[in-house]
């Protein structure tokens, strides 16, 4: 698989992507630090191992950036919430997902774990989900409401599946969504850019990590 982005080219690529969507990325927002949380979606070995059938090359490119974001949110004493996409070993929760995808991430397996570079702290919430959206049949909304979160920064994998689905569901629930062009990744540039365009048009303010860091 060709790498559409690397850690070295990420900054330049993100600048290009923002330029492409700029006419539609018109709902610029300023992050309210006191009401913000970082959502790190599915940064699991299942998607980050090059030998995996679901390897997402954009994930390795954004890993250092996501790590930087996590450290910044922790330093600012703001919540970092992780999601992990997992399924029962017998696929009793697979449904149509089991037909759609060849590989499935089994709960409790080594490949289901968050990458060791960004391991959740013991006190950080991990949402286990069985569908693309982190809101679907999980307790994420309860946690966000209890924490009085209004601004949600979205990072992780894949841009066009779980990240986009979660961002859309967050918008439906009246959260202000900050979607990171340089903090989300997919399997190719076309899918990544298409999601950035769609989200900017109707659901989120698409931005970059450095801008978020300025507000923390």
Q: What pLDDT is recorded for position 153? A: 98
Domain spanning 36-200, CATH class: alpha beta
Question: Residue 101: its pLDDT value, please?
Answer: 87
The share of the chain scoring above pLDDT 90, in percent, equals 94
DSSP-based three-state secondary structure for 40: strand
Helices (H), the chain: 10-21, 45-48, 57-75, 96-100, 140-146, 164-172, 189-202, 209-215
| pLDDT tens-digit readout, 61-119 | 999 999 999 999 999 999 999 999 999 999 999 999 988 988 889 999 999 999 999 99
Residue 102: its pLDDT value, please?
A: 80
Q: Using CA atoms in the order 140, 50, 8, 160, what is the torsion angle rounded to 10 degrees?
A: -40
User: What CA–CA distance (Å, rounded) separates 70 from 183?
Assistant: 11
Residue 2 has pLDDT above 80, yes or no: no
For 123, other C-beta atoms within 10 Å of its C-beta total 7
Q: Give dist(CA 193, CA 204) in Å, integer.
A: 14
How does pLDDT run across 162-195, given as a tens digit for each residue?
999 999 999 999 999 999 999 999 999 999 999 9
> Where in the chain are the domains?
36-200
Average pLDDT score, the chain: 96
* pLDDT at position 7: 96
Confidence of residue 53 (pLDDT cuts 50, 70, 90): confident
pTM: 0.96
Query: Does 1 have pLDDT greater than 70?
Result: no
- Do you know the residue count of the chain? 216
What was the pLDDT predicted at 79? Answer: 98
Compute, in degrees rounded to 10, the torsion defined by CA atoms 139, 151, 16, 134: 10
């Amino acid at each position: 698989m060709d790498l559409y982005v690397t850690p070295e080219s990420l900054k330049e690529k993100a600048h290009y992507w923002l330029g492409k969507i700029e006419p539609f990325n018109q709902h610029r927002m300023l992050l309210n630090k006191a009401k913000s949380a970082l959502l790190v979606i599915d940064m699991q070995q299942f998607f980050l191992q090059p030998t995996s059938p679901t390897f997402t090359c954009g994930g390795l490119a954004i890993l250092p950036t996501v790590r930087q974001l996590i450290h910044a949110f922790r330093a600012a004493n703001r919540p970092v919430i992780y999601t992990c996409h997992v399924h029962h070993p017998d696929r009793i929760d697979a449904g149509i997902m089991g037909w759609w995808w060849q590989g499935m991430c089994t709960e409790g397996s080594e490949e289901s774990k968050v990458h060791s570079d960004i391991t959740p702290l013991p006190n950080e919430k991990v949402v286990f989900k069985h569908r693309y959206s982190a809101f679907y049949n999980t307790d994420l909304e309860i946690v966000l409401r209890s924490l009085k979160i209004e601004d949600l920064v979205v990072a992780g994998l894949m841009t066009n599946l779980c990240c986009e689905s979660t961002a859309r569901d967050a918008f439906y629930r009246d959260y202000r969504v900050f979607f990171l062009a340089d903090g989300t990744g997919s399997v190719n540039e076309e899918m990544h850019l298409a999601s950035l365009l769609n989200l900017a048009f109707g659901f989120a303010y698409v931005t970059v990590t450095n801008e978020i860091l300025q507000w923390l």
